[in-house]
Every structure is written in C-alpha cells, then in structure tokens.
C-alpha cells in the first residue's frame, strides 16, 4: 500500500525549525510521506534570517514536474514563495496537474522580522494562487495584508476571513496568536467556509513559536489528504500545534522551535 503523500513547496530553513524542514516533521508525525519542492535557500539560525537565495522559477517548475509525473500527491502545502515568478510557476503547475487539495500558508515575514515575500509576489499570490487554494492559513499580520484591514479582535478576524474568502479561497483559517491585548486571554483561531468555527486554546506565554505556521498548515494538509473534513483537520492541527509549542526545543541563543514529537523527542536527544 502506498503512503499518503504531501507535496511541501517552500523555503529551506538551515536551523531546521521552520520551512520545509518543519513541514516534513509535521507530515511525518501525521503518518504521511513528505515530498518537497525548494523555492529558496536561506542562511538562518535561531536569531533570524541572515540571507535568502531564491531558486529560479524554471527549476521550481522542474522540481514539481519531476515529482508529480512520478509519484503524484494527495495534497499540496505551499509556504515561502519569494518572487512573483515563483508564485506564477507554482500556480501554473497546480493547474497543469489539476491539484485540488492545496493549502496555502501565505508566508510573508519571518519570526525575526525578515521580509520573505516581495510586494509583487504578494500581488501574484492574491491573483494567481489563492483562487486555486482549498484553504489558506494566514496569521493576523498576513490576514491584515490580504484583507486590507486592521485586526484587533476575534470579530475583526471574522470580517477579514470573509474578505479573504472573496479572493477565491474555499476555506480561510486565521490564526489568532498575534492578537494583542490581554496576554492571559485564550488564543482563538477562526475557520470560515460560509460558516464560522472557532478553535480556542489557553495562551502559552512563550516566544517559542519558530515554525508554528509551517507546522500548522502542514498538519492541516495531512488531515485533508487523509480524508478528514476541514473542521476535523483544523481541530487536529490546532491540538497538534499547541502541544508542539509546549514541547518546544531550544537549539541556540534565539527563538526555540516548535516540536511535534513532544517529550519522546526531548528525552531521546538528551546528552549523556
């Protein structure tokens, strides 16, 4: 029996905490096989992104052709798409291979503040890629860009979700971790697909959130690929990311990274 396969399209994180490295860990934890298309190579550590080297659009396309002609894919998850040409290439290949279960994580800014997507790429994302998406998973700052409105509350998140859905996205999942205000309040994520669903968890007062967006979207893609409906998949992804933050791994002097493998991983890697 062949495994459920998730094609993860995005940048490589040399610290292993985010990007395609986080994608592979998340889909593996969900019992799926991760395939990758690299859109950019980064020089980064736990403190931030120090350099970005985009892969040529032609080679991004070649990677997708090579994989999809051989193994096919049960779902696609996109992450960092730094240039408009790369966005267009990915969108064209999605149409060519008639890929339907596409989860778009509109990665725009790194945890440390580095811009990961050009303005032209953002425009192309809205025009070319979002209409092909089964679901999009922006955080609050990304949702503000896509909806062209400020978000200061859960009510605002719902308004923004409606606006983003009008861009052609079937399901909009806005993650609420960036909402400012009472730090003791719950973190609420909003799913909109004509109806609203809320997924709330107790706020974890920690900066150990490197790779959470990638992990969340990849877990969602895995659930959809395995046949779960969007509500089931979103709930499982939410539970998974909360546990991953609680079990974050400290690698260097900067941000700790989400750890989907939990205490088992932490204990197995202790130095003797």
pLDDT interval class at 2 (50, 70, 90): confident
Give percent above pLDDT 70 in the chain: 91
Examine the residue annotation and report whether 211 is marked as an active-site residue of this protein: yes
Question: In this predicted structure, which of 112-116, 143-147, 249-253, 257-261 has the lowest mean pLDDT?
Answer: 112-116
DSSP designation for 249: B
CA 55 to CA 9: how far, in whole Å? 12
Catalytic residue selected from 11, 19, 177, 213: 213
pLDDT of residue 209: 79
pLDDT of residue 113: 62
Per-residue pLDDT tens over the stretch 146-163: 999 999 999 999 999 999
* Domain boundaries, position 64: 5-268
pLDDT of residue 116: 77
CATH of the domain at 120: 3.40.1190.20
- The count of structural domains within the chain is 1
Q: Which long-range contacts (CB under 8 A, 24 or more apart) does 180-189 make?
A: 180/152, 181/152, 181/153, 188/154, 188/157, 189/234, 189/238
CA 124 to CA 57: how far, in whole Å? 14
**H-run or E-run covering 40:** strand 33-45
Catalytic residue selected from 214, 215, 223, 238: 214
Catalytic residue selected from 175, 176, 215, 254: 175
Mean of pLDDT over the chain: 91
pLDDT interval class at 208 (50, 70, 90): low
CA 162 to CA 195: how far, in whole Å? 10
Mean pLDDT of 94-116: 86
pLDDT interval class at 265 (50, 70, 90): low
- Length in residues, the chain: 272
Per-residue pLDDT tens over the stretch 22-78: 999 999 999 999 999 999 999 998 888 889 999 999 999 999 999 999 998 999 999
Catalytic residue selected from 211, 215, 223, 238: 211
What are the φ/ψ torsions at residue 136 (nearest 5 degrees)? -125, 145
Examine the residue annotation and report whether 175 is marked as an active-site residue of this protein: yes
Examine the residue annotation and report whether 209 is marked as an active-site residue of this protein: yes
pLDDT interval class at 268 (50, 70, 90): low
Pairing of strands 171-174, 135-136: parallel
Per-residue pLDDT tens over the stretch 216-247: 999 999 999 999 999 999 999 999 999 999 88
Examine the residue annotation and report whether 46 is marked as an active-site residue of this protein: no
Catalytic residue selected from 212, 215, 223, 238: 212
Catalytic residue selected from 78, 137, 209, 215: 209
Q: Is the dihedral of CA 111, 113, 117, 123 positive or negative?
A: positive
Examine the residue annotation and report whether 180 is marked as an active-site residue of this protein: no
pLDDT of residue 46: 86
pLDDT of residue 272: 46
pLDDT(117) > 70: yes
Examine the residue annotation and report whether 212 is marked as an active-site residue of this protein: yes
């Amino acid at each position: 029996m062949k495994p459920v396969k998730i094609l993860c399209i995005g940048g490589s994180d040399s610290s292993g905490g985010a990007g395609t490295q986080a994608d592979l860990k998340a889909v593996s934890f969900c019992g799926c096989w991760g395939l990758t298309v690299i859109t950019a190579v980064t020089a980064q550590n736990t403190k931030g992104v120090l350099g970005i080297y985009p892969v040529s659009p032609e080679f991004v396309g070649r990677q997708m052709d090579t994989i999809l002609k051989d193994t096919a894919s049960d779902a696609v998850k996109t992450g960092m798409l730094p240039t408009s040409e790369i966005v267009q290439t990915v969108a064209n290949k999605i149409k060519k291979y008639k890929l339907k279960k596409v989860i778009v994580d509109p990665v725009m800014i790194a945890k440390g503040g580095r811009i990961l997507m050009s303005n032209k790429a953002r425009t192309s994302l809205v025009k070319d890629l979002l209409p092909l998406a089964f679901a999009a998973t922006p955080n609050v700052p990304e949702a503000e860009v896509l909806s062209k409105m400020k978000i200061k509350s859960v009510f605002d998140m719902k308004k923004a979700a409606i606006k983003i859905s009008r861009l052609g996205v079937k399901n909009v999942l806005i993650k609420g971790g960036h909402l400012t205000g009472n730090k003791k309040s719950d973190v609420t994520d909003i799913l909109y697909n004509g109806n609203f669903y809320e997924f709330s968890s107790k706020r974890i007062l920690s900066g150990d959130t490197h790779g959470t967006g990638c992990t969340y979207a990849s877990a969602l893609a895995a659930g959809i690929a395995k046949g779960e409906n969007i509500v089931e998949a979103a709930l499982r992804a939410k539970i998974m990311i909360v546990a991953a933050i609680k079990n974050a791994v400290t690698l260097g002097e900067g941000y700790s990274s989400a750890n989907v493998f939990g205490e088992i991983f932490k204990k197995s890697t202790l130095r003797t």
